[in-house]
Structure 1
């Protein structure tokens, strides 16, 4: 293709990209065309490579190089700003959001942890109650997973340490499934979230109470205490996000229900983003730390207590300082 034809074919793209660059360089981050910036930047780089390969004149190559260099600066500036925004959300935005939604968080936590502790105590003192929520087959499986003689704790069968990454992926998918179920069911006017919070609390409590009663308490609690700080908190926060959705449908105020739901969803989705982070951390700890059977229980208890303290301090104190990032 001749240079003149190449220029006529793509001149409009280059002019549009230069206009977009000027807007971005002057701080206008939300122009309509900015959504296609990455694709436009890659196209400019492709055109530059073609021009150089075909030996076109420097009168064409030099301006394209300038556009590519300016695009490169804006592209990585945008990526660095995105990274800064993510860090700001993790360090300050998420805990602030949790505190702002404290009413839903409180209701969710009371229901989830209340049912967990209550069922655990009932099963511990009345062992046969475990079969009201857990099948005999599941009870047998749980006993095998937390038998002190097990090679790796919390797993249905012994496996090598080189498979920890497989369990890491399994824990992520399983935990996210539970959290999303608890969150999304809030669309049923909050009843779904209430049900799953109560149900999961009963299930976990029944297992904990039974294993404690049959003498496997030390292996179970030393396994659960570490990742439980993030996993159980995440389930409660997912429930709070679901209750936020349900309340917007039950009490939309002066707004139409669709608009109230839309506004509530913005907050709830942000909560779920933080929940995903917690579940990722929980899965990592569960796969690589909790399942280890070579550490003393006291060590796991100390680390677990530290992780619970860290979660509590993070959610209650992070982002309170005046100069914390927004």
Structure 2
């Protein structure tokens, strides 16, 4: 039988099988019957059409059903239980030396903090700051030295403390990428702070009387370590995870440094995931329990000792027990991560998880087209804008401020003038257009140089994406909390407009209307994509905020050496923080542009089947590289 006749005779059956396979509720009798018939057709095709596309198609159908029938059912609870009872303890055991190094560093640093405070009581002012020390002195004089924990309502205090401690732990971990030295330094710095803070109460009391010294030390100990037992332990463990991360660069073994870093990052992240519940519990204690300074001494001791016992039992003793029971699993025989070469299809129907993963794959493919422009042109332009604002409203930049929202360009409220808005609008639109051009250039057959192509493209399209960028700028800058919450539902549609407004042809206003329509049709997919990327960006925000903390530390260090100088150190600090936030913004925005470009192509494929028609045009054509496209019988 000729192939064309074979296809004609069976295509309705195959189509029915495809339709059934897509349905959630299936007729088991019918689908099993069709499956048997299709496997018979596949056997026939393998015999008579071994190198024809019909064989590939039938193999695809049979393989999909086989995979869906025989795949292992997921057991989320079992996986979660396995993580806490075996996977994480084994990882802690493998990292035991790094955790011990972190603990020793912290202990030595805390001892240095105590000795330094004994040598010079003003050392605490250098570490903790004059403002905090003066506030503590006021509380001591009023007879309530731990009143600092009663200043804020419990719920907002919990949110602030939880995210702050999570940020500190993540920062301690991520600094390990600096060949482990970064994490070691951060652990040492925190150890000195804890030692100086705890000993300050004793030496402050000694300036009054020995009895007062003992009273203040005991009171502060019983208060601070209610939450500190878990909180400080978590930071020390995060430091050990950071050293594990950095060891991938220091000791790559038979891997490349990048491959080794990927493996140690995975190991370190597993430890960090295990710390999150404990950081949460510490924040609960600090917000709702620590404030009750009048609590019975034995109750406080019970919480402190119990907390230390839990941390030691789970993070020290239990890993040893699990390792002894699973000796064959201690040594890791991990293979280096393999990155297969995958071609990104432009017009393809994608679910949210596919859009997210393909966005990062597309980033690898096209970043060469836009990263130099962002680093050499767009970020410097943004820095010039920041400098211009400093010249126009210098007094605003001499005030202490900090903005966690990078979208506001890290400008103080008073400096957010028309220049700030339109300047930000221009550089952000240029960022979006530059990334859109990279996508356009990647999927086109352009042979002209990238720079020349980008210049024409950006001149023609930058103004076109200004509308959605302006909406986002105004939304994040001026919206009230209620409007911010409600606007989250519309944000995916605004992000969805980035790429098509720059690339689609036709009347601009018609294009806006059609793009908004497509955006709402793709809302569920787009919302999930935005949510996942925003969570990722939030994690990076915590890390970059940590770098901004470094800016604060650098400023203080400079200030110690220029005590009598007329330099405004808030200005220095704001320049550092502003620069960090600008870089962060221009590195994160391309991820949104890439992801929503793929969401646009996915919705376009649903509506118009552009990719399907392209594949049909190629169907039957001979390929020298693949066996999935062949010539059809001419007769």
TM-score, length of structure 2 as denominator length: 0.38
158, 172, 184: which one pairs with 2:151?
158
Q: Deviations over 1:106-129 (max 9, x none)?
A: 111111122113312431464232
- Aligned counterpart, 1:230: 230
Q: In terms of Rg, which structure is larger?
A: 2
- Aligned counterpart, 1:305: 305
- Aligned counterpart, 2:125: 131
Which of 96-105 and 15-24 deviates more? 15-24
- Aligned counterpart, 1:39: none
How far did residue 187 of structure 1 move?
0.9
Cα separation, 2, equivalents of 1:218 and 1:312? 23
How far did residue 291 of structure 1 move?
1.8
Q: Deviations over 1:42-88 (max 9, x none)?
A: xxxxxxxxxxxxxxxxxxxxxxxxxxxxxxxx7xxx4xx21332233
Cα separation, 2, equivalents of 1:270 and 1:224? 28
- Aligned counterpart, 1:171: 161
SS of equivalent to 1:318: helix
- Aligned counterpart, 1:15: 21
SS of equivalent to 2:128: coil
1:96–1:318 Cα contact (<8 Å) kept = no
2:201 paired with 1:211 = yes
Q: Do the aligned partners of residues 134 and 317 (structure 1) sit closer, same or farther apart at CA in structure 2, a change above 3 Å counting?
A: closer
Cα separation, 2, equivalents of 1:277 and 1:232? 14
- Aligned counterpart, 1:240: 240
2:190 paired with 1:200 = yes
Q: Do the aligned partners of residues 145 and 174 (structure 1) sit closer, same or farther apart at CA in structure 2, a change above 3 Å counting?
A: farther
Cα separation, 1, equivalents of 2:81 and 2:140? 37
How far did residue 11 of structure 1 move?
8.0
2:241–2:269 Cα contact (<8 Å) kept = yes
Report matched runs for 1:52-63 at 5 Å: none
Cα separation, 2, equivalents of 1:141 and 1:14? 71
Cα separation, 2, equivalents of 1:126 and 1:138? 17
Cα separation, 2, equivalents of 1:13 and 1:119? 71
2:139–2:145 Cα contact (<8 Å) kept = no
1:222–1:301 Cα contact (<8 Å) kept = yes
Q: Deviations over 1:130-157 (max 9, x none)?
A: 23323221212344567784497443x6
Cα separation, 2, equivalents of 1:310 and 1:224? 17
Cα separation, 1, equivalents of 2:141 and 2:194? 17
In structure 1, runs of 5+ residues without a counterpart are 1-8, 30-73
- Aligned counterpart, 1:85: 79
**Matched pairs, number:** 263
Cα separation, 2, equivalents of 1:266 and 1:226? 32
Q: Deviations over 1:153-181 (max 9, x none)?
A: 443x634xxx3121111111110111111
Cα separation, 1, equivalents of 2:307 and 2:218? 18
Cα separation, 2, equivalents of 1:217 and 1:172? 26
Which of 251-260 and 15-24 deviates more? 15-24
Cα separation, 1, equivalents of 2:222 and 2:288? 14
2:93 paired with 1:99 = yes
Cα separation, 1, equivalents of 2:76 and 2:288? 30
RMSD: 3.0
1:183–1:238 Cα contact (<8 Å) kept = yes
- Aligned counterpart, 1:256: 256
Q: Do the aligned partners of residues 259 and 11 (structure 1) sit closer, same or farther apart at CA in structure 2, a change above 3 Å counting?
A: same
How far did residue 96 of structure 1 move?
2.8
TM-score, length of structure 1 as denominator length: 0.71
Q: Do the aligned partners of residues 24 and 172 (structure 1) sit closer, same or farther apart at CA in structure 2, a change above 3 Å counting?
A: farther
Cα separation, 1, equivalents of 2:20 and 2:134? 68
2:146–2:220 Cα contact (<8 Å) kept = no
Cα separation, 1, equivalents of 2:141 and 2:296? 15
Cα separation, 2, equivalents of 1:148 and 1:259? 58
Report matched runs for 1:242-321 at 5 Å: 242-318=242-318, 320=321
- Aligned counterpart, 1:110: 104
Name which structure has the greater RCO, CA cutoff 8 Å, separation 6+. 1
How far did residue 185 of structure 1 move?
1.0
1:231–1:279 Cα contact (<8 Å) kept = yes
